[in-house]
């Protein structure tokens, strides 16, 4: 039977041939683990995802959450699925043994989680959001806050959300208006409205812990005046029992294009002046706390986009293998039997493109997860800092590239199924609709491009960028060993050289205060930078495939040849196309910036 969530052969390739997951077990934190414990965790994830998450993916789309008497009602299948996830320990997969976790590397917890994201993006969101909220309290909360709010989240009794966006401000967090007034007892009273809060209400847990951005009365204007608060749906007594309902009101649900199984809520804080919140960390540091947790969250979002692409790719691949239709062009004889559509060149193109996008960004997402492990478990502070610098730089790509290109993959999956792909009788159109959220939430595509070009590149004197260039050069050098890889390596080297020059030029302009013109075409920069990174990852995969082929295991030949062909596709069909965007960037072309709004 064919696999529907991801290719386990490909996952093993990533973990054990590309990313050296076993090497991590040499580190003290992961010393109790080995390939067997890794594979056991993955096997459990796959089986729970297949048994509890995949079967209600369509139903969750068709029966989206309803608003009833101030509560959000979900289909009954979500809770048993989430419970099975909790029971198997995946919420705390990366947490320490002594905190009740599995102490897995993030690389492995992400690999496990990927199965759920592929099976059912919507139901998977509830624990995903909880992990994010829990990590914030774990990193910045007081012991008492941990005791009262974090522990029940770890235990799976409380779920969490991130409440940032406000109706009038959208991405512009500096303009949020939610206020927090200090109360006599050291807590705060919040007042304001938040929208698009995923998981903002549901019946899956005893309590919901909202991590809310708000401003104190003495807050300076802008992003440096934002503080972070814990605002539970139900207050929690000192003994841990639930107290009365807090003044957080579910004002309504949004009805989305896709990802419908996850409640997207409008929440009113303090309509009755009684919304109790607890300050996390220092006043006015809320946004920097959020940003410190964003790398991990954005890896998760990026991997979510990858996995929706993966699910669509595998489905359309299977369909193309089994669907007979038409004949290859040089056969004009209608009496011959039709061929499977996978034999048609244009269907091959659409499958190969999907493979290149999906497996390229799957590799990058896992690479980033491993880098995250490096930031916490490498031996020296200097090494950890270095890992951090690279991860910071790559994060906008990890989040945005699959959001754009695995969404494209979903479009191609629909196209391969033709009229059937356009119907809700087949799953591929839902994958597209679900995935369409990813370029919007957790920092829109435009925000990511400004983050990369306007912030990340120059951070720490460009340390992350220099490191990336060295890593790419190292991969290219190792590729020299295989003459067959020359036509794949050369386009990448050419692109990197020119990208470097363009980058220096743009950063120089930025340094000289030409801010608007330098950032005007940041979307093109994001695309080229992303293609460079994914091109690098494909060259790395190609080297590993050549190494694998050299081992001569007959059962693996097709797998490795497929890898080499996808690498060839990406490096010769996609990478060279980026010179066009680089030319526009080099010219500081102002056709978009110069467009006047009266001219539209």
Residues 285-324 that bind a copy of itself (CB under 8 A): 317, 321, 324
Query: Whole-number minimum distance, CB 453 to a copy of itself, in Å?
Result: 10
Told to check if 79 binds a copy of itself by CB under 8 A, we report no
Unique residue bearing structure tokens 């159109």: 429
> Contact at 8 Å (CB) between 452 and 397?
yes
What is d(CA 585, CA 57) in angstroms, rounded to the nearest whole number? 42
Told to check if 562 binds a copy of itself by CB under 8 A, we report yes
Candidate residues 521, 538, 539, 546; the one interacting with a copy of itself per rule CB under 8 A: 521
Helix (H, G, I), strand (E, B) or coil at 263: coil
What count of other Cβ atoms lies within 10 Å of the Cβ of residue 183?
11
Told to check if 552 binds a copy of itself by CB under 8 A, we report no
> Contact at 8 Å (CB) between 33 and 26?
no
Q: Which of 150, 137, 138, 250 is nearest to 197 (CA)?
A: 250
Q: Which of 410, 211, 222, 199 is nearest to 311 (CA)?
A: 410
Told to check if 352 binds a copy of itself by CB under 8 A, we report yes
Q: Which is closer to a copy of itself, CB of 385 or CB of 561? A: 561
Candidate residues 49, 290, 450, 496; the one interacting with a copy of itself per rule CB under 8 A: 450
Q: Is 383 a catalytic residue?
A: no
> Contact at 8 Å (CB) between 416 and 171?
no
Stretch touching a copy of itself by CB under 8 A, among 145-153, 205-213, 360-368, 584-592: 584-592
Alpha carbon 581 to chain centroid distance?
25
Candidate residues 54, 347, 452, 469; the one interacting with a copy of itself per rule CB under 8 A: 347
Q: Which is closer to a copy of itself, CB of 190 or CB of 317? A: 317
Told to check if 217 binds a copy of itself by CB under 8 A, we report no
CA atoms within 13 A on the CB side of 319: 22
Told to check if 565 binds a copy of itself by CB under 8 A, we report yes
What is d(CA 95, CA 97) in angstroms, rounded to the nearest whole number? 7
Query: Whole-number minimum distance, CB 356 to a copy of itself, in Å?
Result: 10
Q: Which is closer to a copy of itself, CB of 296 or CB of 434? A: 434
Q: Which two tokens stand for residue 296?
A: 């991990």
Stretch touching a copy of itself by CB under 8 A, among 26-34, 105-113, 433-441, 470-478: 433-441
Told to check if 538 binds a copy of itself by CB under 8 A, we report no
Query: Whole-number minimum distance, CB 288 to a copy of itself, in Å?
Result: 16
Q: Which is closer to a copy of itself, CB of 105 or CB of 312? A: 312
Query: Whole-number minimum distance, CB 185 to a copy of itself, in Å?
Result: 31
Alpha carbon 398 to chain centroid distance?
7
> Contact at 8 Å (CB) between 439 and 466?
no
Query: Whole-number minimum distance, CB 370 to a copy of itself, in Å?
Result: 26
Query: Whole-number minimum distance, CB 206 to a copy of itself, in Å?
Result: 29
Q: Which residues, numbered 368-387, are part of the site for a copy of itself (CB under 8 A)?
A: none
Q: Which residues, numbered 148-187, are part of the site for a copy of itself (CB under 8 A)?
A: 165, 168-172, 174-175
Q: Which is closer to a copy of itself, CB of 353 or CB of 375? A: 353
Crossing angle of the two packed helices 428-435 and 121-140, in degrees rounded to 10: 30
What count of other Cβ atoms lies within 10 Å of the Cβ of residue 354?
27
**Per-residue DSSP letter, 242:** E
Q: Which of 50, 108, 55, 99 is nearest to 77 (CA)?
A: 55
Told to check if 519 binds a copy of itself by CB under 8 A, we report yes
Q: Could you say which of 17, 166, 404, 442 is catalytic?
A: 442
Q: Which residues, numbered 15-44, are part of the site for a copy of itself (CB under 8 A)?
A: none
Q: Which is closer to a copy of itself, CB of 146 or CB of 579? A: 579
- Total binding residues toward a copy of itself, as defined by CB under 8 A: 102
Told to check if 479 binds a copy of itself by CB under 8 A, we report no
**Per-residue DSSP letter, 103:** -
C-alpha distances (whole Å) from 587 to each of 519, 527, 576, 577 are 13, 17, 18, 17
Query: Whole-number minimum distance, CB 269 to a copy of itself, in Å?
Result: 19
Q: Which is closer to a copy of itself, CB of 307 or CB of 523? A: 523
Alpha carbon 476 to chain centroid distance?
27
Active centre residues (catalytic): 442
């Amino acid at each position: 039977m064919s696999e529907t969530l991801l290719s386990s052969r490909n996952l093993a390739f990533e973990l054990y041939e590309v990313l050296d997951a076993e090497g991590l077990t040499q580190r003290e934190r992961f010393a109790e683990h080995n390939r067997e414990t890794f594979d056991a965790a993955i096997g459990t994830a796959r089986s729970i995802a297949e048994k509890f998450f995949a079967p209600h993916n369509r139903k969750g789309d068709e029966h989206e959450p309803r608003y009833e008497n101030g509560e959000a009602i979900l289909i009954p299948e979500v809770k048993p699925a989430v419970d099975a996830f909790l029971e198997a320990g995946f919420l705390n997969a990366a947490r320490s043994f002594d905190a009740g976790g599995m102490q897995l590397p993030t690389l492995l917890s992400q690999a496990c989680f990927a199965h759920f994201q592929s099976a059912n993006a919507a139901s998977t969101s509830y624990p995903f959001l909880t992990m994010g909220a829990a990590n914030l309290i774990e990193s910045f909360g007081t012991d008492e806050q941990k005791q009262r709010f974090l522990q029940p989240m770890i235990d799976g009794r409380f779920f969490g959300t991130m409440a940032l966006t406000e109706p009038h401000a959208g991405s512009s967090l500096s303009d949020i208006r939610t206020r927090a007034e200090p109360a006599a007892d050291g807590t705060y009273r919040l007042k304001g409205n938040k929208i698009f809060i995923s998981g903002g209400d549901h019946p899956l847990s005893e309590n919901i812990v909202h991590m809310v951005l708000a401003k104190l009365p003495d807050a300076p204007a802008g992003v440096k005046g934002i503080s972070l608060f814990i605002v539970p749906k139900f207050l929690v007594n000192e003994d841990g029992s639930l107290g009365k309902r807090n003044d957080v009101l579910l004002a309504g649900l949004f009805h989305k294009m896709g990802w419908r199984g996850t409640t997207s809520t409008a929440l009113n804080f303090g309509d009755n002046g009684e919304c109790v919140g607890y300050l996390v960390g220092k006043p006015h540091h809320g946004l920097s706390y959020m940003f410190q947790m964003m790398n991990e969250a954005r890896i998760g979002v990026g991997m979510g986009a990858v996995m929706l692409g993966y699910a669509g790719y595998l489905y359309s691949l299977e369909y193309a293998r089994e669907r007979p239709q038409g004949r290859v062009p040089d056969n004009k004889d209608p009496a011959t039997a039709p061929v499977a559509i996978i034999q048609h060149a244009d269907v091959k193109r659409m499958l190969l493109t999907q493979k290149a996008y999906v497996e390229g960004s799957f590799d990058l997402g896992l690479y980033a997860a491993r880098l995250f492990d490096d930031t916490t478990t490498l031996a020296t502070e200097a090494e950890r800092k270095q890992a951090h610098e690279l991860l910071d730089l790559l994060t906008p790509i990890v989040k945005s590239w699959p959001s754009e290109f695995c969404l494209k993959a979903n479009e191609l999956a629909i196209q391969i199924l033709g009229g059937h792909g356009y119907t809700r009788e087949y799953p591929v159109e839902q994958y597209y609709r679900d995935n369409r959220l990813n370029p919007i939430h957790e920092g829109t595509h435009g925000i990511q491009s400004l983050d990369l070009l306007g912030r990340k590149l120059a951070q720490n004197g460009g340390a992350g960028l220099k490191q990336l260039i060295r890593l790419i050069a190292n991969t290219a050098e190792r590729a020299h060993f295989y003459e067959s890889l020359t036509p794949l390596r050369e386009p990448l080297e050419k692109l990197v050289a020119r990208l470097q020059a363009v980058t220096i030029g743009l950063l120089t302009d930025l340094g000289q205060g030409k801010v608007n013109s330098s950032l005007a075409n940041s979307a093109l920069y994001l695309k080229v930078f992303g293609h460079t990174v994914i091109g690098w990852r494909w060259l790395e995969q190609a080297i590993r495939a050549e190494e694998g082929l050299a081992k001569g295991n007959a059962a693996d030949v097709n797998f490795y040849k497929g890898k080499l062909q996808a690498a060839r596709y990406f490096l010769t069909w996609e990478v060279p196309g980026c010179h066009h965007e680089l030319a526009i960037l080099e010219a500081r072309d102002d056709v978009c910036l110069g467009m006047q709004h009266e001219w539209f």
